[in-house]
Each structure stands twice: as C-alpha cells, then as structure tokens.
Structure 1
Amino acid sequence: MDRFIKAISSPGAKGATAGVAPTQRVNLGTVVNVSDDMVAIYVENMVKYDPAFKKRLLDRWLDKVVHVAGSGFVFVLVMAIILVWALLGIKYGQSEMWQVVISDFQAILCYIFDSFLMRQQLIGHDTLMMVAACLRSRNISNSRMLRQIADNWSEKSGQIEDLDKNLTESEFPEVNWLGRLSNFAASLTGHIVTVTLYWIGIFVWIGFGQYCGWSNKWQLYINSATSALMVFVFVFLENIREQHRQYTESCMALIHKTDSALELRLRTITGDTIENEPVVIPGPQVTKIQRAIYYYADVVGTLVGIILMLVVLIIWVVIGPAMSFDANWWLIIGTYTGLIGMNDGFILRNVFYHLGEHEDKAFDQVRAEDLSMFEIIDVSPPVENEIQDSGMSFRISAAVGRFCSHELVVLLGTTVMIGLVIGASVMKWSTTGQLLCNIPPSLIETFFMIILITSQNMADAKRRIVLFNIYQRRRYLLSYVNNIPIWDEK
C-alpha cells in the first residue's frame, strides 16, 4: 500500500536534479560509471556528449515516439492531410455531418499532440537541468585547479603568452536553412499582429451570428476554420521544438568537448586526481496549486491521457448503435477531447513558463561560477553576447504570455470548462449544447498555442545566446591553460 501511495503521489514533485561530470584522467584505462536516479552515466575521458540519464525502457520508447512526432516527415504528412481536407471541403463542406466529423478528427489529433508537447516539455527540462548540474560539477574541480595555478604560476614559469581573443560565432553550430525557415515562420505565426488578426476574425464571425440566426451551421463554420488552424499550430510547434532540441544537443556536444578538454589540461598541469563532485540543484519551491498543475502535467506527459482517450473511444463506439450514430453521437468524442484539450492548453502555457524560469536560474548559477574562475586567475572574461530587444510586439507578447501562465489563470480555465459542462447538461447534451463545449474551447486553445509559439521563439533565441556564452567562456579558459607548461614538480 505504501508503494502504491508513493507511486500515485510522486508525479508533480519537481524534486532536485543531481548530476556529476565525467572525471577526466591523465592515465587512461579505468572505467568509472556513476549511476543513480536522475544522475547521468558517463565514462572517463569520454568527450562525446550523452544527454541521456537512467530511464526505464518504456520512457525511452515514449521519448522516441515524441521525437518522431516532431519530425519533418510527420509535419509534411499532417500538412498534406489538411490540404486534402480543404479540397474535399469544397464538395462536402456544406454538410453538417462533414463538419462534425472533421471537428472530431481535429479534436482527437490535437488531444494526442497535447500529450506529445507536454512530454517534449518535460524531456527538455530534465535534460537542461542535468546539463547545468554537470557543468557546475566540473566547475568545482576546474576552480580548485585554477587556484593551484594562480598560487604557483609565478613560481613555476613566469609570464604567460597572449590569450586567444578571436573567438567568433562561426565556431559554434549554425542553424540550417530549414531551421531558419521554421524560425521565420514561427515568428510570423506567433507575432502579436497574427494574434490580433485572429481575434478580429473571431469578432467578425460573432458579428454574423444574428444574421445566421445563431444556428448550428454558423457555429460549425468557425469550428472548421479554427480546427485547421489549431492542427497546424500544434504540429508546427512540435516540429520547431524538435528542431531546437537537435540544435541544442549539437551545441551541448561542443560545450561538453571543450569543457572536458579544459579539465583534462588542468589535471595534466597540476596532477590533480580528485573526482568531480556531484552537484544537486534543488527543485523549485511551488504553491499547492502549482504542485497540482505539475502533477497533471506529469500524468499527461506519461501519455496516460492518450490511454484514457482510447478508453473513452471504446465506450463511444459501444454506445453508437443506441444513438443511431447521429450527429449528436459524433460530437461526443469531440466534446470530450475539446474540453480536455482546452485545459491542457492552459497547463502547457503554465508549465512552459515556470519550468523555463527554473532553467534560467540554473544557468545563471553556471554563469556566476564561470565568472568566479576568471576572478581566480585575474583575467577579464570575454565580452558576452546579449539578448537583443525584439521590439514592442514581442514585449506585448511576453506580457500576455506571463499573464496567461499564472496559476490562477489555469484555475480560471478549469472553471470555464466546468461551466461549459454545466451549460451542456442544462441543454441535455443536444447538438447545440455540445457545440457549446466544442467551439469556445477550440477558440481559447488555439489562442494559447499561438501565444506559446511566441514564447518558444523568445526562449529559443535566449537559449542560443546563453549556450554560446558558456562555450566562449570555456574556450577562453582553455586558451589560458594551453599556454601554461606542464609542471615538472608536483
């Protein structure tokens, strides 16, 4: 019973992340593995970057599924489906049943990608926190050895040669043409002007409500339009996140290689053989409401939500004959996935913002420790690249994103969902009642996904600069120690 209680209560607890950098040795031959929960496994003097930490087989397979879902192939496939959908709509678009079926398809697809996006977010967070812990682990050893050099250098050899100050971004991985194209498209999709046009379109649709008699067909028109947009936004967001993950890993690989070379050179100079120390980064301090949000995110991120949807699908099919497979029956599955999807949109936005804050604090600590190493050797650090002000539109988008990320806004979204369920119940779950549970969630979720793209753009740009600055500081330190001869006496 205790094990069961622990298992169901563990999600949502964003605990500490422990990491230890692989200890570099001058004399090769001994293999040391360091393994524990959330601790990376490395081999001595292994310069190849390995972001993986101990995971169950199921988790590794789920991660692969998420990576495939963000691939270019899946993106092109879904875009082709949307195109076919649009072409068939020329002939069948006036049919209410056609629009209902399309609404169901959209809701189910977006529901699945909700789970993928959530897991993608959690994978990325765990990896970045592990990287920060490993960088800090090696910083402890490098700082200790730099103190030895600072204390003994004047006695050992006198003057050092000029440092390599010509570090340029050309040495750092470049975003390929597809990545640049995606970034450009993402900047347009998530731009405040796009968001404004989106809401203008919604109000224009509302303006035609009275003319159309507030009919079901009038409601289905906007549902079809937002369905296509929402599918695009979900798949596009998944794709740009996957591209950013691949780019970030290439940056991490270069940083890891340079950091390992720095440590090995320092050990060669000083003869230091002390193992790198594990570093533990405490988890974020959160309120009970935020803990509940993280709990839900963890459950969705394990793709449990998709399993629940499969159960609902089976029940839905079973009750089909009793409802004569009418339009009302078709809307049931769309209603379920639409309502849950809207709630997931609130959760995704919240989790992205708060986990991002935690990652920023972790890398700020890495930066502070890096700068302290330059103080030890009394050398000025290299000039850092700075994040450019992206203009008024991005500042407005950032402010909207922060507001939408508040835990009380998530509670508001849950309240809206409950209110829609009550409204549909009062209407005895008629077609109109179910459309009430389909259309507002679709409008709200699409808005949240567009806002999330804006936030993703800003976070990606910031992360690229942070990673380049980390690499540049290590290249500078490596240039310094490469000018120091190996001590003859230890």
Structure 2
Amino acid sequence: MSALPSLIAETKLDEKAVTGAYHLEPSSYPSFFKKCVQAIQSPGKQHNICSSAPTQQVFEDEKFLRSSSSLEGLSAEYKVKYGTNGAIVEYENIRDYIDQKRPNLTGRIFDKITSLAGTSFVFILTLIILIIWAIVGGIYHGPDNWQIVMQDGGSIQCYISDTLLMRQQQNQHSQLTTMIAQLRSRLRTIRRLIGPILQGKTVASAPIKDQDLRDDVGDARKLPTENWFDLVCNYVSLIIGSVYFFLIFWIGIFIWIGFGKKLNWSDEWQLYINTATAVELTFTSVFLQNVRHRHMKYISRCVSSIFHIDAALEEALRRQSGDRQTNPVIEIEAEKVSHGSRIIDYYADLVGSGVGAMISATVFIVWLAIGNVMHWNSNWWLIIGTYTGLIGFLDGFVLRNVYFRENNHVKIHLQTLIDEECSLFQSLDLPLPHDSEITLNKSFAYKLSSFIGHICSQAYSVFVAVIIIVCLVVAAGALKFNETAQLFCNTPTMIIEGALLIVLIEAHNFTNMKNRIKFRQIHLRHLALMQVMVGDGYSTSESV
C-alpha cells in the first residue's frame, strides 16, 4: 500500500473517505513483555466501533489522469479501473456495505465454518444422521452402546454448536454496530447537504404509502423462504417455541421419573432420558443456528439495499450542491461491563476463537489416546460426553448472557439511528411512510420465554451454572467417575439445557422479528427520502 498516499494526495481523497474504514496508528511499539500481557488481557475486551460510510465522490469529467506506477499495490476495495494504456483511471464509488474481514487466515476459516453451520445443508445432514441412528437402534433393539453413542454425539454436537453460536453472535454484533455507524455517518451528510439545497423551498407533505415505494426486501415479520424447507422451518419454529411443546417436554420428564422405581433407578433408566434429551438438544441447537443464519441474511439484504439508496442519494445531492466534504466518522462506544460480565466475556471470546478450537481438539486427541488403555468400554465412551455435556451446559448460559447484553447494546444504538431519521423527517415536514411504533401481540409463551430468558441471561446465572458443575464433578469424583457417576453428571445438565433451549426460542424469534421490522422501516424511510429529494417531490415555497 506504499503507493496509496501519493494517489490520495493527488486526487484529494483519503483512505477513510474511500473505504469507510477508520484506523488508529500506534504511537509506539510495546516491549515483548507488554505484548504478552496485552495478549493475555485482550480476549473479551470491549472496543469502540469507529466507522464512516464510503464517501460518494463526484468529479467533473468522472476521469482523472495518473501514472500507472502510482497505483501499484492498490487494494481491490478501491475499485479503480485501468485504461487501455494503463494511464487513464476511472474511479468507481463504493455503494455496498463492505464487511471487515479478519486479518488472519485462521479467523477467516473459522468464520466460513460458522457461516456454513447455519445453512440448510448442515441442518438436513443432521436430520439424516438422526434418522439413520434411529433405524440402527430399531434393528439392534436399542443396546446401551447405541444410546451412549447418541449421548456422546449429541453432547459433542451441542458443544460445537455453542462454540459456533458464540462466534456467530460476536460476528453479528460487530457487523450490526458497524452497519449502524455507517448508516448514521451518511445520514449526517445527507442532512447537511439537504439544508442548502432546500433554501427557500419546502418538501411536499403528501403522505407516501408503502405500496408506492419500490420495496424489494420482503415482509420482515417472517423469515425469508427460498424453498419448501425454509417454509417448514418457519412452522417448526412456532411449534418448538410454543408453551404446548414446553409442557410436553416436562410431561415426558415426569413420566421418566415415574418409571425410576420400577427400573431400580439403574444406569439403563438414566440412559433413556439422556438419549432423549440428546436428540432434542441436537435438533434444537442446529435449528437455532439455521434460524439465526436466515435472520441475518434478511438483515444483510435489507442493509445492502439501504446502502445503495443512500449512496445514490448522497451522490445526487453532492452533484447539486458541489459539496466535497467527506462523510464523518461515527464512534459507537463499547458496552460498559461489570467485573462479572468481563470474566464472562473473556471466557466467551476464548470459546468463540481459535484458542477454544485448539483446546477442544486437544481434549478429543487425549480422549482417543486413552481409548486403548480403557479397552474402549462404555465408561470411556461416556468420558467425552460428560466433558462436552458439562462444558456445553456452561456455554449455554454464557451464550444467553452475551446475547442478551449485545442485543441490548445494538438496540440502543439502532434506536439512536431511528431517532435521527425521524428528526430529519420532522425537520422537512415530511410524514413517515409507516407507523413508527411496532405493535406485536405478546403471547403467554413469549412472556414466559422472556421472563426465563431474563433470569438465565444474568451474570449470576452463569456463576450458578459453574457451581452446579463443580458440585456434579465432586459427586462424580466420590464415585470414582464410574458409569453411574458420569450419567449422573449428564442427566440434570441435559434436562435443564434442553428445557431452556425450548423456552428461549420464542423470545429469540420475537426479538429477531422486531429487529427485522426496524430495519425494514429504515429501508422504507430511505426510499421515501430518495423519492422526494431526487424526484419531483419538492417545490418552491411560493408555489405551495
């Protein structure tokens, strides 16, 4: 990038204006010891988001001459085109939101895996595996090892899913806050440019209906459906998140408890409920990943459309005003966290990073290595299920705590963007193209889900989960970690986690739907503003 400063200097563009990125250069390089301390402290550390929307540059002839040597090493992000002789270059404005990719290869690979985990392909593959497992159990009359394999597989899958969900949540939070910062950045520019253009003029105040706008992002209340499978998932989401499904789950638990005495509270008796909850956890965790993936897909589509609208509006206003001032940098402050939340964030960051993947890989290697020593018996099979089950139980509470706090953080700054937009419409005496209030029917299932979700998302709930795990490990240690002890560790944690996954889906779906509606309303407002300012939507005050 050594040639970039000369290009910037000659064209009077800066890197921040072109890409929207904002970087802080360190004043000095710390010592090796300081680097080590920073590396240890860095996981989970909150950072302010600083970003600006790419400035839409307007040139008189849209072309400028530069020597080809000054363009060496220029990143593709700048979208510069060479002429036939390598001397004439045409600058192309960036209209899309540019997602910031991680600088290291490992992080990018992990992000690809995280994205893949939420696809329909992985969901269908998981269902096929469950069906095959059920068929094999029916053929061999459900032996103990068959059930243990399901418990291990379910615990491992949930453990991995929690890791990927943690990564997915962190990525989405960073992406959403950056989107909001860039939308606010361009909104400030548009507001500044509109002022001089409308001197002595007034905006036509005729209401603009939704159907009169070229809204191409679709209904926000439902997740986008591309095929029959997505349609089925929408209905399944309603069923799983209902109170009736929650009641059926607990009826099954009480029936299982009722058979305890008849089966002499045996290992076989514990295996039954562990197997059932493992199947439920496997299905609901993969389902949650798929729903999140489709939700973010809608948000990305909506934001992409908003960026195109805003970029075109900014360029049109700059052509009228002749303004060349770059879009301002918007800083979104990081969430203020308590010491308890800081510990949780530290752990969550490790789990959702390459470090967590390395720890998991090490555990699996050690488990495989001791298989021959333990003669590959049932106890050996249960070890990995016990480890992943207990850690997955903790990860579930951590994930809910992080989700709750990050969602509130996004909610606050999204509302700031909405308030700034409504203020602009009010200053222009322009009616909103929709009702700004979002009214949704809150069912009993939602209220129950929201109440339990609020409790589970508190920091003390995470530490209670740690205490439960310690108590279970101590009790299992007293029994020398035999099969009964390991099943005892798995049973209560899997029941609790299975119940929580069911009850929290309703609140999760409701929150995601509200966010989709808010982004669609932002889309409608920007369409209306575009129609008014670029079309024939304003007139001189004398003619009104």
Please say whether Structure 1 and Structure 2 have the same fold, judged by a TM-score greater than 0.5: yes
Of the candidates 414, 427, 437, which is equivalent to residue 376 of structure 1?
A: 427
Deviation, structure 1 residue 449: 2.3
Question: Which residue of 1 is the match for residue 465 of structure 2?
Answer: 413
Q: Is the 8 A contact 1:22 1:42 kept in 2?
A: no
Deviations 1:3-32 (A, max 9, x none): 11111211111221111101112224589x
CA separation of 1:391 and 1:485: change in aligned 2, threshold 3 A: closer
Question: Which residue of 1 is the match for residue 245 of structure 2?
Answer: 194
The separation in 2 between residues aligned to 1:458 and 1:297, in whole angstroms, is 24
Deviation, structure 1 residue 164: 7.0
Identity across aligned pairs (percent)? 35
Q: Is the 8 A contact 2:207 2:431 kept in 1?
A: no
CA separation of 1:123 and 1:382: change in aligned 2, threshold 3 A: same
Q: Is the 8 A contact 1:26 1:264 kept in 2?
A: yes
Of the candidates 30, 51, 71, which is equivalent to residue 19 of structure 1?
A: 51
Of the candidates 217, 226, 240, which is equivalent to residue 173 of structure 1?
A: 217
Deviations 1:143-202 (A, max 9, x none): 21223234x2x1xxx565565713238723232254443222112112222122212211
Of the candidates 461, 472, 484, which is equivalent to residue 432 of structure 1?
A: 484
Deviations 1:73-120 (A, max 9, x none): 111111000001111111335422222222112211221111111111
**What does 1:22-61 align with in structure 2 at a 5 Å threshold?**
22-27=54-59, 28-29=62-63, 45-53=93-101, 55-61=103-109
**What does 1:212-361 align with in structure 2 at a 5 Å threshold?**
212-361=263-412
Deviation, structure 1 residue 387: 3.8
Q: Is the 8 A contact 1:115 1:303 kept in 2?
A: no
Deviation, structure 1 residue 336: 0.6
Q: Report how many residues are paired.
A: 473
Deviation, structure 1 residue 447: 2.1
**What does 1:137-176 align with in structure 2 at a 5 Å threshold?**
137-150=185-198, 152=199, 154=200, 158=201, 165-168=208-211, 171-174=215-218, 175-176=224-225
The secondary structure found in structure 1 opposite 2:435 is coil
The secondary structure found in structure 2 opposite 1:323 is coil
Question: Which residue of 2 is the match for residue 474 of structure 1?
Answer: 526
Deviation, structure 1 residue 423: 0.7
Question: Which residue of 2 is the match for residue 100 of structure 1?
Answer: 148
Q: Is the 8 A contact 1:267 1:273 kept in 2?
A: yes
Q: Is the 8 A contact 2:95 2:308 kept in 1?
A: yes
CA separation of 1:325 and 1:248: change in aligned 2, threshold 3 A: same
Deviations 1:358-399 (A, max 9, x none): 111110010111112123323333333524123222122112
The secondary structure found in structure 1 opposite 2:442 is coil
2:448 is the counterpart of 1:396: yes
Q: Is the 8 A contact 1:20 1:134 kept in 2?
A: yes
The separation in 2 between residues aligned to 1:133 and 1:42, in whole angstroms, is 20
The separation in 2 between residues aligned to 1:421 and 1:402, in whole angstroms, is 27
Matching residue's letter, 2:334: G
The separation in 2 between residues aligned to 1:396 and 1:119, in whole angstroms, is 27
Q: Is the 8 A contact 2:203 2:429 kept in 1?
A: no
The separation in 2 between residues aligned to 1:221 and 1:93, in whole angstroms, is 13
Q: Is the 8 A contact 2:158 2:285 kept in 1?
A: yes
Deviations 1:248-299 (A, max 9, x none): 2111111111111221222122221110011110011111111111111111
Question: Which residue of 1 is the match for residue 123 of structure 2?
Answer: 75
CA separation of 1:159 and 1:61: change in aligned 2, threshold 3 A: same
Question: Which residue of 1 is the match for residue 134 of structure 2?
Answer: 86
Query: Larger helix proportion, structure 1 or 2?
Result: 1
The separation in 2 between residues aligned to 1:281 and 1:161, in whole angstroms, is 34
Q: Is the 8 A contact 1:146 1:376 kept in 2?
A: no
The separation in 2 between residues aligned to 1:257 and 1:42, in whole angstroms, is 17
Which stretch shifts more, 189-198 or 248-257? Answer: 189-198
Of the candidates 508, 520, 523, which is equivalent to residue 456 of structure 1?
A: 508
The separation in 2 between residues aligned to 1:283 and 1:421, in whole angstroms, is 37
The secondary structure found in structure 1 opposite 2:327 is coil
The secondary structure found in structure 2 opposite 1:428 is coil
Question: Which residue of 2 is the match for residue 7 of structure 1?
Answer: 39
The secondary structure found in structure 2 opposite 1:321 is coil
Deviations 1:56-87 (A, max 9, x none): 33222211111111111111111000001111
The separation in 1 between residues aligned to 2:518 and 2:202, in whole angstroms, is 32
The secondary structure found in structure 1 opposite 2:337 is coil
Structure 1 regions of 5+ residues with no counterpart? 32-40
CA separation of 1:380 and 1:440: change in aligned 2, threshold 3 A: same
Alpha-carbon RMSD across the aligned residues, in angstroms, is 2.3
Which stretch shifts more, 213-222 or 380-389? Answer: 380-389
The separation in 2 between residues aligned to 1:125 and 1:160, in whole angstroms, is 36
Question: Which residue of 2 is the match for residue 126 of structure 1?
Answer: 174
Q: Is the 8 A contact 1:18 1:280 kept in 2?
A: yes
Matching residue's letter, 1:22: P
The separation in 1 between residues aligned to 2:143 and 2:483, in whole angstroms, is 15
Q: Is the 8 A contact 1:93 1:99 kept in 2?
A: no
Question: Which residue of 1 is the match for residue 73 of structure 2?
Answer: none
